[in-house]
Amino acid sequence: MHNPHRPYGLLVVAFALLGIGAAVLLYPRWTAWQYSCQVTEQHTRFSSQVTPAAKESNSLLDQLYQELQRRNQTLYETNQADLRDPFSYEEPGVSLAEYGLQDDIIGFVQIPALDLELPIVLGANEEHLKQGAAHLTQTSYPIGGENTNCVLAAHRGYYKAPMLREVERLQIGDTVYVQNFRETLTYTVEELRIIDPTDVDALLIQPGRDLLTLVTCHPLGGNSQRYVVYCVRNTSEADHTAQ
C-alpha cells in the first residue's frame, strides 16, 4: 500500500542532511571568527594597558623592560645553556601580572602577508599554544636588541583558528611586526628553513644580530619536522612607541 507520509519523511531527512552538511562546512569559519573576535578584544585590552598615560602611571612597565633586558643579556652570555631541556620551554620565566599586564600576554605578532595577528604568550606549553604564539623560554624576550633571537612557536592550524597554517605563503622580504608593551618592532623575513624537531642549534642567538624566529610543525597535518621563518630587525623602518 502506498504510504502518503513517505515523501514527507524523505524530505525531512534530506533537509536534515543538508543542515548537517552546512554546519560542517560553516563550523571552521564560525570558530575562526570567534577566535578573531577574541584576539581583537585581547588587543584592545592590552593596548589600554600600554598607552602613554597608562605607562606614566605604571612605573612597573619600565622595571619589566629592564628585567627582560637583563634576562636577554644573561641568555647571550650563558649561550642559552638550558635551551636543550625541553621542559625549560614551557614555564614562563616572568610573571607579567606582577607588572600589571593581564592575560599573560606580552604583546602581539602581526603578519600582513597572511592577514594574521596572534597574541604572544610567555611559555610554550600546550595551553598557551592554543591561545596564539608561544614564546620559548630560554630564548630572547620580544623586546629586540643586539644579540637577541626571540623564538615564537604556533600551531600549524588549530580547530579554532588557522594560526600558522599558511606559513608557506611567506616569502623572503615580507614584513612581520612585534608589538610589545613598549613599542612596535619591525622585522623582515630573511630565510625559510625546514629542520628536525631536535635541532635546537637552529634557534640559538646569532652574535651581533636582532632576530625573530617563527616555528611551526611541518608538513601540514604532521609534525615530523619544523618549518622555521627567520626574520631580521629592519632598522631602516622606524619603530613605533606603543599607543
Active site residues: 155, 217
User: What does the block give as the cell for 197?
Assistant: 624537531
Q: Return the C-alpha torsion angle 216, 129, 200, 70, nearest 10.
A: 130
155-186 as b/e: b if 16+ CB within 10 A:
bbbbebbbbbbbbeebeeebebbbbbbbbbbb
Q: What pairing do the DSSP bridges indicate for beta strands 148-153 and 175-180?
A: unpaired
213-239 as b/e: b if 16+ CB within 10 A:
bbbbbbeeeeeeebbbbbbebbeeeeb
Phi and psi at residue 216, in whole multiples of 5°?
A: -150, 170
CA 54 to chain centre: 25
8-state DSSP, 95: -
Question: Which residues lie below 8 Å from residue 68, measured CB to CB, with a gap of 6+?
Answer: 94, 141, 143
CA 160 to chain centre: 14
- For residue 162, is the peptide bond before it cis, meaning its omega torsion is within 30 degrees of 0? no
